[in-house]
Amino acid sequence: MRNRRGAFLPGLLLILLGAWLLASTLGVQLPDLGQLWPVIPLFFGLAALVQYFAEGRRSGDNGARV
């Protein structure tokens, strides 16, 4: 199951890239990537946080330290 979860983010990025390219080919007005570059590290940071908290809950770790 771990291998399948690890493929989620790259797969999602490929889908988003394909949608972006399709929309630009069809003539949809999209913002310039120069304006959107700060969203990229934000997206990866949020994805890392979600993965961290999801793995902690699945393993039964409630955050209590002894």
Q: What pLDDT, on the 0 to 100 scale, is given for residue 19?
A: 92
> Per the confidence metrics, is the pTM higher than 0.75?
no
Chain centroid to CA 34 = 19
In this prediction, residue 58 carries a pLDDT of 58
Task: Give the whole-angstrom CA distance, residue 38 versus residue 55.
Answer: 27
Q: How many independent structural domains does the chain possess?
A: 1
Q: Is position 63 within any domain?
A: no
| 3-class secondary-structure state, position 30 | coil
Predicted pLDDT of residue 23: 92
- Flag whether 18 is in a domain: yes
State which residues form the domain around 48: 2-58
Q: What mean pLDDT is predicted for residues 40-55?
A: 83
For the chain, give the mean pLDDT.
77
